[in-house]
Amino acid sequence: MAVKRAGFFTDTSVCIGCKACEVACKEWNGLQGNSPNLLLDSFDNTGQLDAENWRHVKFYERMPDQANLVEQPASTGGGQAFLMMSDVCKHCQHASCMEVCPTNAIVRTEFDTVYIQQDVCNGCRNCISACPYNVIGFNQATGTVHKCTLCYDRLQNDLTPACAKACPTESIKFGDVDTLHQLADARLAALQKQGYSKAQLYGRDDKVYGGLNAFFLLMDEPEVYNLPNRANAVLPSRNNLPGYLGGLATAVVAVIAGLIAFRRRGESEETKA
Amino acid sequence: MTLLAEHFVKPPEWTWYILTYFFLAGLSGGSYALGALLRLSRRPGYQAAARLAFLAAFPLILACPLLLTLDLGQPLRFWHMLFDSANLPALNFKYWSPMSLGVWALSIYAAFAFVSFVEALSSRVRRLLAGGLGAVVAVLGGALGLFVAAYTGVLLSVSNQPVWSDGWPLGGLFLASGLSGAAALLVLAAGYRPQLAEGVRALSEADRYFVAIEAVLVVMFLVTVALAGSLGKLFSGIIPLLWLFVVLGLAVPVVAHTRTRPILPLITSLLVLVGVLALRAAVIFGAQS
């Protein structure tokens, strides 16, 4: 049965960094990938999410004796020494990209996912500067922007998205968001019971962009994974009112200044005459 | 260790087309607004300068849609900004998206700029618009001109891009700088023509006020960016050189005025215009560096 609210629950505690998700995503979606690039950044040569990479396994290596790591279980650095996370579009409930898109190319689908209509997008790239997760990329060949569709075509055919299908450790779980919430809550409780005190869910509740359809179980603070924390999960439209008010105030002051300048100069001309 | 919480945003790669657009939109909107103020003053000595401002505003704005279209990945879909392509003939209008609002404002403003352009060229149209109608056109067109000059800054602010979204003063800053650049451009275009002399003196005086407002807003902008921890981006690579031109553009009109031996107005105006361009370049390229 097709899901009502489609989403991913990515459990980073069981990610082994195999990148099967990246490969499966490219295979299914016909993404060519970028030219090979040796980034010398741990095992990461993908670099970032973009038009050709809709899944990206991030690697964060930290020594167990580094400050802030949980001491127990000591031998593994509290599960925080070698963090891996398969990143993806979050399909935010309050989506920054959708908010600024001037052409309405970015829509919410019947599966409650965020989707870029390729035949509507005109490549203005406003969404790229809005997405706080560095997700959307511009493709020179198509002249449009691209990101994860949550395998929209597979959803229409009642199939599991390619990345979740390929993930060998079930780090990426696909399903209805409400069901995934229950799974995530149980997994978090189990980890906390084992002593992983910094384990937390990101995007499970509505505190981050109204809730994320693709949410995560993290082993440390969101900032460690280059994710904006709750305080910084803000929408572009927050700057509309102050921006326009600043412009209006400047306009009023500038018009008064102009009138004074024109009057003063005019009067001095008359005095001369 | 406290980690700096921020957004992790890719640059949209808005470069030369957008820089040129922001520059020309500022000059056009500023020129029209100044032309409207000069026209509405009803002082006979200013009317030639008002006409010059209207003659400048329209050609400047004419280049803007072209630049915006060329910047698109799919230029032939430029009309998707105005019409809902999936649901024709419905219009696309999102007041909360400055890009959407700006495209509409630009289109309507261009119509006003065209009317005033024709008015400046034709004495017959001038007679037609001599009364209240002409004043209404000037007021509405002037307000739209101010909006067009300002919204480009708001467009950058309404994002999650570090630097752009850190500071709310960008809209006001681009407006003040657009007005300053427009005054300088009109002084430059007027040259030494005697019928424009009175207007030129008034515009030069106004420019000194505009650069003072702009200087205050530059400081406010830098403070807001510094408070957000992104100031380094605005001073990386060759960006400091651009700020040098910004400072020159702000200082020269004031210095030129206080000197007993006047600096050539043409040089002053050129430096102001370079400063206006440099400001936008520093903000656009700095954030994306």
| Tens-place pLDDT, residues B192-217 | 788 888 888 899 999 999 999 999 99
Coil, strand or helix at B31: helix
Are B2 and A229 a contacting pair, CB within 8 Å? no
Task: State the sign of the Cα–Cα–Cα–Cα dihedral B126, B129, B132, B133.
Answer: negative
Mutation to test the A interface, candidates B68, B159, B200, B213, most A Cβ within 10 Å: B159
In a domain, B6, yes or no: no
Q: Please report the pLDDT score of residue A58 as a whole number.
A: 93
Query: In chain A, which residue ranges form alpha helices assigned H by DSSP?
Result: 20-29, 96-100, 126-130, 152-156, 162-166, 177-193, 240-272
Rounded Cα gap, residues B237 and B241, in angstroms: 9
Which residues in B lie closer than 8 A to residue A142 (C-beta atoms)? Answer: 73
Question: Percent of chain B beyond pLDDT 90?
Answer: 73
Q: Say if the Cβ atoms of A247 and B151 lie within 8 Å.
A: yes
Q: Please report the pLDDT score of residue B112 as a whole number.
A: 97
Q: Please report the pLDDT score of residue A66 as a whole number.
A: 57
Are A80 and A220 a contacting pair, CB within 8 Å? yes
Instruction: State pLDDT tens for residues B219-244.
Output: 999 999 999 988 999 999 999 999 99
Question: Worst-scoring range by mean pLDDT, A44-53, A175-184, B8-17, B127-136?
Answer: B127-136
Q: Say if the Cβ atoms of A102 and B97 lie within 8 Å.
A: yes
- What's A6-234's CATH class? alpha beta
Tell me which amino acid residue A35 is: S
pTM for the structure as a whole? 0.92
- Mark which residues 44-73 of B lie under 8 Å from A by CB: 45-46, 71-73
Instruction: State pLDDT tens for residues A213-250.
Output: 999 999 999 998 999 999 889 999 999 999 999 999 99
| Mean pLDDT within B55-62 | 96
CATH number at residue B102: 1.20.1630.10
Rounded Cα gap, residues B166 and B227, in angstroms: 8
Rounded Cα gap, residues B157 and B155, in angstroms: 5
Are A216 and A12 a contacting pair, CB within 8 Å? yes
Rounded Cα gap, residues B107 and B61, in angstroms: 10
pLDDT at B115 over 90: yes
In a domain, B118, yes or no: yes
Q: Please report the pLDDT score of residue B6 as a whole number.
A: 53
Q: Say if the Cβ atoms of B86 and A99 lie within 8 Å.
A: no
Which has more pLDDT, B207 or B261? B207
Rounded Cα gap, residues B63 and A227, in angstroms: 40
Q: Say if the Cβ atoms of B99 and A100 lie within 8 Å.
A: yes
What is the nearest CA distance from A90 to chain B, expressed in angstroms? 14
In a domain, B7, yes or no: no
Strand order in the sheet with A200-202: A172-176, A6-11, A214-218, A200-202
Closest-CA residue to B29 (of B142, B161, B193) = B142
The radius of gyration of chain B from alpha carbons, rounded to an integer in Å, stands at 20
Rounded Cα gap, residues A87 and B27, in angstroms: 44
pLDDT at B1 over 50: no
Q: Say if the Cβ atoms of A134 and B100 lie within 8 Å.
A: no
List Cβ neighbours of A182 (8 Å cut-off, separation of 6 or more).
Answer: none
Q: Please report the pLDDT score of residue B5 as a whole number.
A: 35
- The domain in which residue B185 lies consists of 16-288
Q: Please report the pLDDT score of residue B42 as a whole number.
A: 83
Tell me which amino acid residue B144 is: L
What is the nearest CA distance from B70 to chain A, expressed in angstroms? 10
In a domain, B77, yes or no: yes
Coil, strand or helix at A214: strand
For residue B44, give the DSSP letter: G
What is the nearest CA distance from B135 to chain A, expressed in angstroms? 16
* B38 part of contact set with chain A, CB < 8 Å: yes
Which residues in B lie closer than 8 A to residue A133 (C-beta atoms)? Answer: 8
Which residues in B lie closer than 8 A to residue A240 (C-beta atoms)? Answer: 96, 98, 154, 158
Rounded Cα gap, residues B224 and B218, in angstroms: 10
- Cα distances from A137 to residues A129, A222, B138, B236, in angstroms, run 10, 22, 43, 24
List % helix, strand, coil for chain A (3-state, nearest 5): 35, 20, 45
Rounded Cα gap, residues B166 and A241, in angstroms: 14
Q: Say if the Cβ atoms of A227 and B8 lie within 8 Å.
A: yes
Other beta carbons within 10 angstroms of residue B11's beta carbon come to: 17
Please state the domain count of chain B. Answer: 1
Low-confidence ranges of chain A (pLDDT < 50): 73-75
| CA B73, chain centre distance (Å) | 24
* B85 part of contact set with chain A, CB < 8 Å: yes
Are B98 and B43 a contacting pair, CB within 8 Å? no
Q: Say if the Cβ atoms of A265 and B201 lie within 8 Å.
A: yes
For residue B107, give the DSSP letter: H
Q: Quick one: tokens of B116?
A: 């005033």
List Cβ neighbours of A40 (8 Å cut-off, separation of 6 or more).
Answer: none
Other beta carbons within 10 angstroms of residue A160's beta carbon come to: 18
Closest residue of chain A to B183, computed from CA coordinates: A258
- Cα distances from B258 to residues A268, B204, B225, B251, B252, in angstroms, run 17, 13, 32, 11, 10
DSSP H or E stretch at residue B26: helix B16-40
Q: Say if the Cβ atoms of B172 and A250 lie within 8 Å.
A: yes
Rounded Cα gap, residues A61 and B170, in angstroms: 39
Q: Say if the Cβ atoms of A129 and B160 lie within 8 Å.
A: yes
What is the nearest CA distance from B158 to chain A, expressed in angstroms? 5
| Highest mean pLDDT out of A85-89, B1-5, B121-125 | A85-89
Are B55 and B117 a contacting pair, CB within 8 Å? yes
List % helix, strand, coil for chain B (3-state, nearest 5): 75, 0, 25
Q: Say if the Cβ atoms of B73 and A145 lie within 8 Å.
A: yes
Write down the number of H helices and E strands in chain A: 7, 10
Give the β-pairing of A144-146 and A137-139: antiparallel
β partners of residue A211: none
Write down the number of H helices and E strands in chain B: 9, 0
DSSP H or E stretch at residue B150: helix B132-157
Other beta carbons within 10 angstroms of residue B227's beta carbon come to: 11
Instruction: State pLDDT tens for residues B170-187.
Output: 999 999 999 999 999 999
List Cβ neighbours of A170 (8 Å cut-off, separation of 6 or more).
Answer: A11, A14
Closest residue of chain B to A221, computed from CA coordinates: B3
Q: Please report the pLDDT score of residue B2 as a whole number.
A: 32
Q: Quick one: tokens of A9?
A: 């629950």
Q: What interface predicted TM-score (ipTM) does this complex get?
A: 0.92
β partners of residue A84: A59
Of B84, B98, B179, the CB nearest to A254: B179
Q: Please report the pLDDT score of residue B4 as a whole number.
A: 36
Of A100, A251, A263, the CB nearest to B97: A100
Counting every residue, how long is chain B? 289
Q: Please report the pLDDT score of residue A6 as a whole number.
A: 96
Q: Please report the pLDDT score of residue B3 as a whole number.
A: 34
Residue A223's Cβ-count burial label (10 Å; 0-12, 13-18, 19+) is middle
In a domain, B3, yes or no: no
Q: Please report the pLDDT score of residue A41 as a whole number.
A: 75
Residue B254's Cβ-count burial label (10 Å; 0-12, 13-18, 19+) is middle
Which residues in B lie closer than 8 A to residue A50 (C-beta atoms)? Answer: 10
Domain ranges of chain A: 6-234, 238-272
Q: Please report the pLDDT score of residue A108 as a whole number.
A: 97
